[in-house]
């Protein structure tokens, strides 16, 4: 074999060896997809009812909204918010009107489709609603991220999410207020900026259904208390004269919007009527619909007023068994069932506190059986001197 042929054969063999070596090297794995950025992801709408608190704004020529985020404290206020469907001003109290706007602050329960909140239960005036403070995921421990980085992250979020979010730098974190989150925003924030840097705070909270026992015959309101058999006492405003005298239980001379007067008829007073509506202590008989007055004196001079039993004064220390959302649902349910029997109602610290015209223990026993002991506390506006 000539020298040139041997060289050619050698070159071919070396080339084949190189190609086989290249084929043995595994192909590089494709690069992992970057995590989704906050602002590029969107949470799925909640499946059930949610509760949201805020100012309801009804400006002529625009849709009714439940405000969130920054608010301009003009008269009327100016804000942005979630559109409300099914809102009825006739079903609420405590609203104000200025210029071409009607507004008021409420706790609103409804269904949310990602854009619009549809009202499904009677709203609760915020003056009567004492929400439980949601648990802080930071445990009250300040963050360690430098403020400069936090400000840059907050600016980035504002640029991406616009009116859908309200970020603020606080206690070493970016607190990000959003209307709703099922964990999607929080997961994206953790993946992009690191854990415990951005804390997502949702304004809407899921509402657990009222217990199924409310559909049974033993539910609160299904059985009315028997009228008292002896003398009873109450405080309120007497007004009118003759056959038209009425008693506004637990009312004051300047009834507040949060405590409207739903008076009960009164008998036993002469035709002279009541000269000045003042807070009065009345005693007499109550038949379940009318109060027959046998005596009345100014409340300030009434020794019996101090003897009034108040179950709400004897509550154990600490929060009650209801979540904020559960309390709102129970409060709305009780209001619908008891109607004019209900004088005052509020949700506070894990409990629902209500005052009815009269209770001999019937309402309280039903509430304990339906919602659990300590969940609903029933006080009676009319009481017997020897009531427990």
130 band by pLDDT with thresholds 50, 70 and 90: low
113 band by pLDDT with thresholds 50, 70 and 90: very high
Poorest-confidence range of 204-213, 280-289, 368-377?
204-213
Among residues 85, 132, 112, 230, the alpha carbon closest in space to that of 178 is found at 112
Q: Look at residue 214 in the predicted model and tell me its pLDDT.
A: 42
373 band by pLDDT with thresholds 50, 70 and 90: confident
222 band by pLDDT with thresholds 50, 70 and 90: confident
Residue 216 has pLDDT above 50, yes or no: no
Residue 8 has pLDDT above 80, yes or no: no
Q: Look at residue 259 in the predicted model and tell me its pLDDT.
A: 44
Is residue 192 helix, strand or coil?
helix
How many Cα atoms are found within 13 Å in the side-chain-facing hemisphere of 161?
22
Contact by Cβ (8 Å): 279, 299: yes
Q: Look at residue 27 in the predicted model and tell me its pLDDT.
A: 57
Q: Does residue 144 have a cis bond before it (omega within 30 degrees)?
A: no
End-to-end CA distance of the chain: 123
For 101-111, the pLDDT digits (tens) are 999 999 898 99
Q: Which of 159-173, 235-249, 327-341, 372-386 is the most confident on average?
A: 159-173
- List CB contacts of 61: < 8 A, sequence separation 6 or more: 100
89 band by pLDDT with thresholds 50, 70 and 90: very high
Signed CA dihedral, 211, 214, 217, 223: sign only: positive
257 band by pLDDT with thresholds 50, 70 and 90: very low
Q: Look at residue 29 in the predicted model and tell me its pLDDT.
A: 59
Q: Look at residue 164 in the predicted model and tell me its pLDDT.
A: 87
Question: What does pLDDT average to over the chain?
Answer: 82
The two tokens of residue 66 are 């439940």
For 33-57, the pLDDT digits (tens) are 677 889 899 999 999 899 999 999 9
The two tokens of residue 221 are 């309101």
Q: Which of 42-56, 271-285, 309-323, 338-352 is the most confident on average?
A: 42-56
Distance between CA atoms of residues 148 and 336, nearest Å: 52
Higher pLDDT, 55 or 339: 55
Distance between CA atoms of residues 144 and 150, nearest Å: 10
Contact by Cβ (8 Å): 249, 236: yes
Tell me phi and psi for residue 165, to 5 degrees: -145, 155
Residue 82 has pLDDT above 70, yes or no: yes
231 band by pLDDT with thresholds 50, 70 and 90: very high
Distance between CA atoms of residues 319 and 165, nearest Å: 31
Q: Look at residue 328 in the predicted model and tell me its pLDDT.
A: 87
Q: Look at residue 63 in the predicted model and tell me its pLDDT.
A: 92
Among residues 387, 238, 244, the alpha carbon closest in space to that of 298 is found at 238
156 band by pLDDT with thresholds 50, 70 and 90: very high
For 279-294, the pLDDT digits (tens) are 888 899 999 888 998 9
Cα–Cα distances in Å, from 363 out to 219, 230, 286, 336?
Answer: 9, 19, 17, 15
Q: Which of 109-123, 129-143, 187-201 is the most confident on average?
A: 187-201
For residues 264-269, give the mean pLDDT.
Answer: 83
Q: Look at residue 363 in the predicted model and tell me its pLDDT.
A: 92
For residues 263-281, give the mean pLDDT.
Answer: 72
Q: Look at residue 212 in the predicted model and tell me its pLDDT.
A: 43
Signed CA dihedral, 161, 166, 168, 174: sign only: negative
Rounding to the nearest 10 degrees, give the CA dihedral for residues 379, 381, 382, 387.
Answer: 30
Higher pLDDT, 168 or 221: 168
Residue 270 has pLDDT above 90, yes or no: no
Q: Look at residue 320 in the predicted model and tell me its pLDDT.
A: 81
Cα–Cα distances in Å, from 211 out to 130, 131, 216, 221, 369?
Answer: 21, 20, 10, 15, 11
Distance between CA atoms of residues 163 and 160, nearest Å: 10
Higher pLDDT, 7 or 74: 74
Could you tell me the residue ranges of all domains in the chain? 36-207, 232-302, 307-382
The two tokens of residue 81 are 């918010």
For residues 264-282, give the mean pLDDT.
Answer: 73
Distance between CA atoms of residues 244 and 271, nearest Å: 9
Is residue 230 helix, strand or coil?
coil
Q: Look at residue 285 in the predicted model and tell me its pLDDT.
A: 93
- List CB contacts of 331: < 8 A, sequence separation 6 or more: 124, 129, 345, 346, 347, 352
């Amino acid at each position: 074999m000539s020298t040139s042929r041997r060289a050619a054969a050698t070159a071919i063999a070396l080339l084949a060896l190189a190609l086989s070596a290249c084929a043995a090297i595994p192909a590089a794995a494709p690069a992992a997809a970057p995590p989704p950025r906050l602002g590029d992801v969107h949470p799925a709408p909640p499946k059930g009812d949610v509760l949201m608190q805020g100012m309801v704004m009804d400006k002529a020529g625009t849709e009714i909204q439940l405000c969130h985020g920054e608010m301009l404290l003009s008269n009327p206020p100016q804000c942005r918010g979630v559109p409300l469907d099914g809102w009825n001003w006739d079903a609420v109290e405590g609203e104000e009107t200025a210029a071409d706007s009607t507004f008021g602050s409420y706790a609103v329960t409804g269904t949310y489709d990602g854009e619009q909140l549809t009202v499904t239960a009677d709203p609760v005036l915020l003056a009567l609603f004492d929400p439980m403070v949601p648990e802080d995921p930071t445990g009250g421990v300040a963050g360690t991220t430098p403020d400069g980085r936090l400000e840059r992250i907050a600016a980035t979020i504002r640029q991406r999410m616009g009116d859908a979010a309200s970020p603020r730098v606080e206690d070493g974190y970016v607190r990000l207020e959003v209307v709703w989150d099922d964990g999607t925003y929080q997961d994206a924030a953790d993946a992009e900026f690191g854990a415990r840097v951005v804390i997502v705070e949702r304004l809407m909270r899921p509402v657990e259904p009222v217990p199924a026992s409310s559909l049974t015959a033993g539910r609160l309101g299904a059985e009315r208390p028997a009228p008292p058999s002896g003398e009873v006492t109450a405080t309120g405003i007497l007004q009118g004269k003759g056959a038209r005298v009425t008693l506004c239980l637990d009312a004051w001379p300047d009834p507040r919007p949060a405590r409207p007067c739903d008076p009960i008829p009164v008998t036993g007073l002469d035709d002279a009527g009541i000269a000045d509506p003042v807070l009065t202590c009345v005693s007499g008989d109550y038949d379940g619909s009318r109060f027959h007055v046998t005596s009345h004196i100014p409340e300030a001079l009434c020794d019996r007023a101090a003897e009034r039993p108040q179950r709400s004064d004897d509550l154990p220390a600490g929060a009650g068994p209801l979540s904020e959302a559960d309390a709102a649902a129970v409060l709305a349910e009780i209001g619908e069932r008891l109607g004019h029997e209900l004088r005052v109602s509020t949700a506070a610290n894990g409990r629902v506190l209500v005052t009815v015209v009269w209770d001999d223990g019937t309402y309280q026993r039903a509430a304990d059986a339906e919602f659990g002991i300590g969940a609903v506390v029933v006080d009676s506006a009319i009481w017997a001197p020897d009531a427990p």
